[in-house]
Chains A and B, each alone.
Chain A
Amino acid sequence: MADPQIERFLYREALLMDEHRFDEWLALWAEGGSYWVPCNADDIDPTRQVSIIYDDYARLRQRIDRLKSGSVQALDPLPRMRRLISNIETDASAADEVTVGSNFILCIARGVDQQLWSGRSIHRLRHSGEGLKITHKKVLLINNDQEMPLLQFLI
């Protein structure tokens, strides 16, 4: 069974992403955190290969500034989203951080069309005075090598 604190954290993060609560989601991150969605394969060298998202903390803040600006075309109207988180596995062998793997299925409704996205997220979480913080998040999309629609929301 997954550590209840970690499970609660992942559910909370999912809720904030689903409801486009961008600032609250950013507050889950440790300063200096990094966010990676590889392209074409799950294991690539991001210094030599293109990613779908490869954000350092400054770029992550830019991403949030843009998403909440009100001028992102694909967020007008805001898509309605709900995701399920499951298959949680933790590795707490490092002293100060815990690595968590989890699967997601994300359903998005925008107009009459529904989209289904799925993949596995690998979080590195650090305990801080304000609870857990994300130091690194990597999202392995099952379709990262396929022609895909826009990804203009939090994954």
Chain B
Amino acid sequence: MPTAPIDFNALIDGAHISGRLYRDPAIFERELNAIWYKVWVYLGHASELPNAGDFVRRQIGRQPVLMVRDDDGRINVFFNRCRHRGNLVCRREQGQVDAITCPYHGWTYARSGELIEPTFEEGYAADMRREDFGLTRVPRVAEYRGLVFASVSPDGIALDEHLGPVKEFIDLFMDLSPTGEIDLGAGTQKLRYKGNWKMLPENSLEGDYHGPFIHRIAFELHAKATGLSMSSLYQNEVPDVIRYLPGGHMVEDYRGASMAPAQGEPSAGRAAYVAAMERAYGKDKARQLTTTIAPLVYVFPNLLYIMTHIRRVQPVSVDETYVYYQPMLLKGVPPEINSGRLRFHEFGFGPAGFISPDDIEIMERNQIGIQASGNDRSFIGRGLHRDRISGDGGASGFTMDECHLRGMWQHYRALMQAPADLSP
């Protein structure tokens, strides 16, 4: 059925954002083709597949894909679909395999995707070539510091260009490890909410504005336990905390915000960690990395780094989203540093945490609120009069400003306006 063209200039008008963008199933369908099947989508990290034969299932939009490490150590990304009759070739979420066998008729593929055996092969014509029936590769796959991205579109900009200036901020959280390596092998907390996927990045990167309202009790408990007051972040607004980076990416950069130092002598593990960081990066950079909160990062469209973890966003429908929280452990550090990271993660995040559940509940109510059509515009205008625009198309603002949200929506609008291939 032909649909009326959608005027995205009217729906995204500077700081005014139409509620239709969160509730219209036709817009969600267009997002699949114009965003999810077009741009680089984050799938997972190399540390989730340490050995040959390790695999994890993931999704790009609605399409099931499979990441497998082969015997040469390469990470392959295949569509999770048997070449025979289209069955889901791998059902398990993760694990290790010698070969990938479709449960339906037994077609078996190597870890590197080649068809090893179409079963009862004598029934196929002699000129059927096995090499024409390997698992189909997702057209483009690339890594940055172990983060694996893929694109269903054979054409498009290189990953390096897509990431651009956000690489500097990815480096900052990776460099919390003295070897510069992270480990996402600690498992995944999985959550679902009844709201649009775009609310998650919007909410995740503006915590200083909503923090005093919905996270007050978590901040109080944290302050009582650690002596660190998170309220300083919003009580003294400073410039250049909020950043928009070209490519749809957003950052909350706390390097300029001072945190009260921890009281008392550091533990032996903490002291060993700081010493390892100084050896790795020199005193100045090590001090910055170990005494400030690493910037919070959103890589368009579905990767977030938030304090303790990597967060992945999975759209399900216009009003349902899955969220995956994977604690980020550090390689080359004393065990107590990582167990401390796990325990702090559980304090804040996942279905039973003390911070993110309040966000999830609010997003579900947000989804209800935007059903109301009177004045059908959200307003993201905080700081509009004082944005600092940078030469590369980025912008920065004060702690609670919304320039990064405006930037993300501009990027979204450009993608959605582009003449997309709407064939399924």
* Docked-complex contact A73 and B358, CB < 8 angstroms: yes
The distance from the CB of B355 to the nearest CB of chain A, in whole angstroms, is: 10
B368 nearest in chain A by CB position:
A111
- Determine the chain B residues whose CB is within 8 A of the CB of A148 once the complex forms: 190-192, 351
Of B188, B217, B322, the residue contacting A69 (CB under 8 A) is B217
Question: Among residues 338 to 365 in chain B, which have CB atoms less than 8 Å away from a CB atom of chain A?
Answer: 338-339, 342-343, 345-347, 350-352, 354, 357-358, 360-362
* Docked-complex contact B352 and A151, CB < 8 angstroms: yes
The distance from the CB of B332 to the nearest CB of chain A, in whole angstroms, is: 15
If A54-B343, A54-B346 touch, whether A49 touches B186 (CB-CB below 8 Å) is yes
- Determine the chain A residues whose CB is within 8 A of the CB of B339 once the complex forms: 47-48
- Determine the chain B residues whose CB is within 8 A of the CB of A48 once the complex forms: 186, 338-339, 342
State A51–B343 Cα separation when bound (angstroms).
9
Question: Among residues 166 to 220 in chain B, which have CB atoms less than 8 Å away from a CB atom of chain A?
Answer: 186-193, 214, 216-218
Check A152 for interface membership: any CB of B closer than 8 A. yes
Interface size of B in residues (CB-CB distance below 8 Å): 36
- Determine the chain A residues whose CB is within 8 A of the CB of B221 once the complex forms: 62, 65-66
* Docked-complex contact A71 and B217, CB < 8 angstroms: yes
Of B192, B214, B346, the residue contacting A51 (CB under 8 A) is B346
Q: Mark A137-155, 1 if CB is under 8 A from B, else 0.
A: 0000000011111111000
Check A85 for interface membership: any CB of B closer than 8 A. no
A152 nearest in chain B by CB position:
B357
Of A37, A44, A72, A146, the residue contacting B358 (CB under 8 A) is A72
If A69-B217, A71-B216 touch, whether A39 touches B192 (CB-CB below 8 Å) is no
Check B44 for interface membership: any CB of A closer than 8 A. no
Question: Among residues 98 to 155 in chain A, which have CB atoms less than 8 Å away from a CB atom of chain B?
Answer: 145-152
Check A53 for interface membership: any CB of B closer than 8 A. yes
Check B161 for interface membership: any CB of A closer than 8 A. no
The A/B interface has a contact count, at CB < 8 Å, of 101
The distance from the CB of A151 to the nearest CB of chain B, in whole angstroms, is: 4
Check B225 for interface membership: any CB of A closer than 8 A. yes
Of A59, A72, A151, the residue contacting B347 (CB under 8 A) is A59
Check A40 for interface membership: any CB of B closer than 8 A. yes
* Docked-complex contact B358 and A39, CB < 8 angstroms: no
Q: Mark B273-298, 1 if CB is under 8 A from A, else 0.
A: 00000000000000000000000000
- Determine the chain B residues whose CB is within 8 A of the CB of A73 once the complex forms: 214, 357-358, 361-362
B94 nearest in chain A by CB position:
A40
Check A92 for interface membership: any CB of B closer than 8 A. no
- Determine the chain A residues whose CB is within 8 A of the CB of B192 once the complex forms: 147-149
* Docked-complex contact B345 and A50, CB < 8 angstroms: yes
Q: Mark A50-61, 1 if CB is under 8 A from B, else 0.
A: 111110001100
Check A74 for interface membership: any CB of B closer than 8 A. yes
* Docked-complex contact B190 and A146, CB < 8 angstroms: yes
- Determine the chain A residues whose CB is within 8 A of the CB of B322 once the complex forms: 147
- Determine the chain A residues whose CB is within 8 A of the CB of B343 once the complex forms: 54, 59
Of A37, A40, A150, the residue contacting B361 (CB under 8 A) is A150
* Docked-complex contact B186 and A145, CB < 8 angstroms: no
State A149–B342 Cα separation when bound (angstroms).
21
The DSSP consensus for interface residues of chain A is: loop
If A50-B346, A51-B346 touch, whether A66 touches B351 (CB-CB below 8 Å) is no
* Docked-complex contact A149 and B351, CB < 8 angstroms: yes
* Docked-complex contact B354 and A62, CB < 8 angstroms: yes
If A62-B221, A74-B361 touch, whether A37 touches B186 (CB-CB below 8 Å) is no
* Docked-complex contact A52 and B358, CB < 8 angstroms: no
* Docked-complex contact B189 and A50, CB < 8 angstroms: yes
The distance from the CB of B197 to the nearest CB of chain A, in whole angstroms, is: 13
Check B93 for interface membership: any CB of A closer than 8 A. yes
State A113–B31 Cα separation when bound (angstroms).
29
Check B50 for interface membership: any CB of A closer than 8 A. no
Check B335 for interface membership: any CB of A closer than 8 A. yes
If A73-B214, A152-B352 touch, whether A147 touches B191 (CB-CB below 8 Å) is yes
* Docked-complex contact A149 and B193, CB < 8 angstroms: yes
The distance from the CB of A21 to the nearest CB of chain B, in whole angstroms, is: 19
State A132–B354 Cα separation when bound (angstroms).
29
Check B397 for interface membership: any CB of A closer than 8 A. no
Check B407 for interface membership: any CB of A closer than 8 A. no
State A117–B360 Cα separation when bound (angstroms).
19
* Docked-complex contact A37 and B188, CB < 8 angstroms: no
The distance from the CB of A6 to the nearest CB of chain B, in whole angstroms, is: 26
If A44-B187, A52-B189, A150-B351 touch, whether A66 touches B217 (CB-CB below 8 Å) is yes
- Determine the chain A residues whose CB is within 8 A of the CB of B187 once the complex forms: 39-40, 44, 49-50
* Docked-complex contact B93 and A52, CB < 8 angstroms: no
Most buried by B among A58, A73, A145, A146: A73
Most buried by B among A47, A71, A72, A150: A150
- Determine the chain A residues whose CB is within 8 A of the CB of B217 once the complex forms: 65-66, 69, 71-72
- Determine the chain A residues whose CB is within 8 A of the CB of B342 once the complex forms: 46-51, 54
- Determine the chain B residues whose CB is within 8 A of the CB of A51 once the complex forms: 342, 346
Would you list 14 pairs from A and B whose C-beta atoms are within 8 A, ordered by A residue? A44-B187, A48-B339, A50-B186, A51-B346, A52-B350, A54-B346, A59-B347, A62-B354, A72-B357, A72-B358, A74-B357, A74-B360, A146-B190, A152-B351
7 closest A-B pairs by CB: A73-B361, A151-B351, A147-B192, A147-B190, A151-B352, A69-B217, A74-B361
